[in-house]
Chains A and B, each alone.
Chain A
Amino acid sequence: MRDVYIASSSMINVDRHFNRGYKELAGVVVKDVIEGASVEQPDYIVVSSMFAESSLNQLDLATILTQHLGLKPVPAIRVDTGESSGLAAVEIAYSLITAGRADTVLVVGVEKATEFPTRVTNRFLSKVLDYEVEVLRNITPPNYAALIMKEYMKRYRVSREELTIWPVKMHENALRNPYAQLKFKITPSKVLNAIKISEPITLYDMFPIGDGAAALILASSKVARKSGREVLLVRDVVSATSRPLYLRDDITRFESIATLISMLRRKYGFRIDDAVYEIHDSYSIYAYIILEELGIARRGASYKEVENLVYVNVSGGLKARGHPFGATGVYQVSEVYNIMVKGAGGVRFDGTFGLTHSMSGPDYNSRLCLLERVV
């Protein structure tokens, strides 16, 4: 199999970009990432967006963006796997290069989520669940997060207060991230007393709605060698789907994450304590469970270990960096790349591995991207 490297990355700040459309957002990062990689044109373009057909009334986003941005008429494909679409785009790009179908692939994640009132955006977002089975029964993503949180608290005898540590920490981290949407500190009492989204989840237990765009250039060693970018290897991108929540024996487990991480440990000698992480903390309860499934923290006790986690969600995570849906997975890889290669937010990781985790819904699908320093 051919090696795949990250040749460059680009992000814009996650925000309510009221005065900029998706083409403009994507245009900024595409221009930047192509210049950064010192390549003329990519061989292939992979675009991710979670709900472009709903929010932008646009199908075949990849072709339209390629046309609009004036790129060479290379093959372009749009990827949708719900909230993990961004990392799915990286997965496809990785596969294209390993399979020898391309030497440089442009990955663009873009989402315009602030064009509508919240209730409409929520309606779009809910479609990551089974529309006929779950959505029509008025189950929304935060409802599931609330059920899981209640069960977790009961099972492990954890108080609501104890589970405020994650969002507080994420807001602290985001203060150092110039691309973060929520750059302010919060306290445990602010989390507890905020507006209820779905009991016991409050506003500060979940991601804000924001627009964003991020881009990557992935390159084969042939291309990366020429520009001296054989630094950070995309070792693998793996993914799995899982059963719907109502068919699970234990709703406090995200089992596909455990399966994927053990595969990476076996195959690549991935070591938990020699890695920097970006995880998909769409709801704070999910962060605790993901930490446990990845083996970073003990089951039912991850909240006790959050304080000491230096290399997890340096960006502020979905909670505070923001969650521009289809772009989020691309942001995560860009952030880990920055931390490992040049440092970001005053944090630089000199160790071996970088791991990003992205998922849709409560682990309806999960994806892991393993990055490895080779120089």
Chain B
Amino acid sequence: MDAGIVGWGVYIPRKRIKVKEIAELWGFDTGLVNSLRMEEKSVADIDEDSVTMGWYAAKVAIDRGGVNPSEIGAIFFGTESKPYAVKPSATIIGDALGISRRKLSSDLEFACRAGGEGLRISISLISSKAVKYSLAIGSDTAQANPGDVLELTASSGAAAFLIGPEREAIAVFEGAVTYVTDTPDFWRRDCSRYPSHGEIFTGEPAYFDHIVNSVNILLTDLGLKESDFKYVIFHQPNGKFPLQVGKLLGFPKEKVLPGLVTPMIGNTYNASALIGFARVLEQARAGDRILLVTFGSGAGSDAFSIVVKEGIEQVASRGPTVNELLERKVYVSYSSYAKSRRLIERSIGW
């Protein structure tokens, strides 16, 4: 494949809520919070949605890449929390960024891995020279039933990757595979406000099975082994699963932790693995090989092998880093969070 990463950007809302506060309110055992390895989660405010966050991340990605937006021929927006049920969100972001109107543009939905599918489509478009640059965005303001265990992790954030030809990239894709089955571990029915999930069923037959399969297929295809990778980033629904699946596959904790951001900001769904990946790119050096693994309920997993090239530090410095965004925070109470996330709505008559 002739495609690589030309630029990337991330957005994390400023507001944070301590997960223990949610747990205490609903009477969850604190042991549960500790076992999930969760500290805080980001809270999208009343004026932030998946489009505004996705726009910001995409803007930073374009800035980092130093690319003229009019040369971008495709934009894919992966989300499960689009502001409009019908009407593309990718077009809003595309026009707001001044991206060429002669472009492919669509919203992708595959629970938490639509962003990963956006990456795969982008790689194909670039490799086949159908377009010069493609933008893959993963962005979510994840919903959770108040009081559901999901509320301890569901959060908001966005990540965007500008994909271009290998010669312009600071990190190149050397392989990508996708593994998909019909596994109903998590879903939201039409017109339902909040999703349902199969508890433990979201683990073993869903998250673990699909990730293990996609990674093993990729390693076999490329003839690589675990020790060939300096970093590995898994989709991170909580702080525990990525370490568990890493162990299962033979990746030591040290390779997983640099890209594990969920304990600090929660599960940003379509941005989850991608924000972790961006954080790893910001500390990677030329020659490092990175394994990026997405997962989406329903269920599927993409595994990508990426090799970092010279000049990554310079590109990283052209925009706000993930670490800076992680530090930029203000704590809110549950009541303020409930208002921001519209768990309660103002009612003043008339």
Question: Which residues does A use to contact B, with CB under 8 Å?
Answer: 16, 18-19, 114, 117-118, 193-196
B31 touches A16 (CB 8 A): no
The answer to whether B31 touches A118, judged by C-beta atoms less than 8 angstroms apart, is: no
Q: Find out whether the CB atom of A195 lies under 8 angstroms from the CB atom of B29.
A: yes
Q: Is the CB of A18 within 8 A of B205?
A: yes
Contact of A18 among B29, B35, B197, B201 (CB under 8 A): B201
CB distance from B301 to the nearest CB of A (A): 18
Cβ of B47 within 8 Å of any chain A Cβ, yes or no, is no
Instruction: Write out the residue numbers on chain A whose beta carbons fall within 8 Å of the beta carbon of B35.
Output: 195
Is B204 an interface position by the 8 A CB rule?
Answer: yes
Within 8 A of A (CB), among B239-262: none
Checking A18, A19, A117, A193 against B31 with a beta-carbon cut-off of 8 angstroms, the contacting residue is A193
Instruction: Please give, as numbers and ranges, the residues of chain B lying within 8 Å of A117 by CB-CB distance.
Output: 197-199
The smallest C-beta distance from A30 to any residue of chain B, in angstroms, reads: 26
Which of B32, B197, B199 is most buried by chain A, counting CB atoms within 10 A of its CB? Answer: B199
* Interface: B85 (CB within 8 A): no
Subset of 11 A-B contacts with CB under 8 Å: A16-B201, A16-B204, A18-B204, A114-B200, A117-B197, A117-B198, A117-B199, A193-B31, A195-B29, A195-B31, A196-B31
User: Are A194 and B31 closer than 8 Å at their CB atoms?
Assistant: yes
Which 4 residue pairs spanning A and B have beta carbons closest together? A195-B29, A195-B31, A117-B199, A196-B29
Q: Which residue of B lies closest to A18 (CB)?
A: B205
Give chain B interface residues in 5-41, CB to chain A under 8 Å.
29, 31-32, 35
Report A-chain residues with C-beta under 8 Å of the C-beta of B200. Answer: 16, 114
Chain B residues in contact with chain A, CB under 8 A? 29, 31-32, 35, 197-201, 204-205
Chain B residues lying within 8 Å of A16, measured Cβ to Cβ, are 200-201, 204
Quick one: which of A18, A114, A193 has the most chain B CB within 10 A?
A: A18
Minimal Cβ-Cβ distance residue in A for B205: A18
Tell me which residues across on chain B come within 8 A of A193, comparing CB atoms: 31
Report the separation of the CA atoms of residues A194 and B35 in the bound assembly, to the nearest whole angstrom: 9
CB distance from A199 to the nearest CB of B (A): 10
- C-alpha gap A114/B205 in the complex (Å): 13
Instruction: Please indicate the chain A residues that have their CB under 8 angstroms from the CB of B31 in the complex.
Output: 193-196
How far, in angstroms, from A118 to B32 measured CA to CA in the complex? 15
B192 to chain A, nearest CB (A): 16
* A195: contacting residue among B32, B197, B205, CB under 8 A: B32
In the bound complex, CA of A196 to CA of B33 (Å): 13
Chain A, residue nearest B200 (CB) = A16
- Chain A residues with CB under 8 Å of B197's CB are 117
CB closest residue in chain A, given B32: A195
Which residue from chain B places its CB closest to the CB of A119 in the assembled complex?
B199
A322 CA / B204 CA spacing, docked (Å): 18
- Taking each of A194, A195, A196, which has the highest tally of chain B beta carbons within 10 Å of its own beta carbon? A195
Cβ of A195: which chain B residues have Cβ within 8 Å of it?
A: 29, 31-32, 35
Nearest residue (CB) in B for A120 is B199
Complex Cα spacing A199 to B272, Å: 36
Query: Cβ of B199: which chain A residues have Cβ within 8 Å of it?
Result: 117-118
Chain A's nearest CB lies how many Å from the CB of B208? 12
Least CB distance from A68 to B in Å reads 24
B contact residues around A114 at 8 Å (CB): 200-201
Nearest Cβ distance between residue A355 and chain B, in whole angstroms?
34
Question: With A and B bound together, what is the CA distance between A193 and B35 in angstroms?
Answer: 11
Report Cα–Cα, A194/B198, bound state, in Å.
Answer: 22
The CA of A16 and the CA of B198, in the complex, are separated in Å by: 12
CA distance A117 to B32 in the complex (A): 17
- Chain A nearest CB from B182 CB (Å) reads 12
Residue numbers in A under 8 Å from B204 (CB-CB):
16, 18
Q: Known A-B contacts: A18-B201, A117-B198, A196-B29. Give 10 more (CB < 8 A).
A: A16-B200, A16-B201, A16-B204, A19-B205, A114-B200, A117-B197, A194-B31, A195-B31, A195-B32, A195-B35
Chain A positions within 8 Å of B198 at CB level: 117
- B186 CB → nearest A CB, Å: 12
Which residue from chain B places its CB closest to the CB of A196 in the assembled complex? Answer: B29
A16 to B203, CA, bound (A): 12
**Distance between Cα atoms of A118 and B198 in the complex (Å):** 9
Nearest Cβ in chain B — how far from A115, in angstroms? Answer: 9
Contacts of A18 in B (CB 8 A): 201, 204-205
Shortest Cβ distance from B244 into chain A, in angstroms?
A: 14
B28 → chain A, closest Cβ, in Å?
A: 9
How far, in Å, is A121 (CB) from chain B's closest CB?
A: 10
How far, in angstroms, from A19 to B209 measured CA to CA in the complex?
13
Q: Which A residues are in CB contact (< 8 Å) with B29?
A: 195-196
- In the complex, residue of chain B having the shortest beta-carbon distance to the beta carbon of A121: B199
What's the least CB distance linking B11 to chain A, in Å? Answer: 33
Separation in Å of the B228 CB from the closest CB of chain A?
31
A287 to chain B, nearest CB (A): 23
Rounded to whole angstroms, the CA-CA distance of A195 and B205 in the bound complex is 23
In the bound complex, CA of A196 to CA of B32 (Å): 9
Q: Which of A16, A19, A114, A117 lies at the interface centre, i.e. has the most chain B CB atoms within 10 A of its CB?
A: A117
Q: Cβ of A118: which chain B residues have Cβ within 8 Å of it?
A: 199
Chain A residue nearest to B29 (CB atoms) is A195
* Chain A: CB-nearest residue to B34: A193
Q: Which residues of A contact B205 (CB under 8 A)?
A: 18-19
A114–B204 Cα distance when bound, in Å, is: 13
CA distance A118 to B197 in the complex (A): 11
Would you give the shortest CB distance from B194 to chain A, in whole angstroms?
A: 14
In the complex formed, the residue of B with least CB distance to A202 is B31
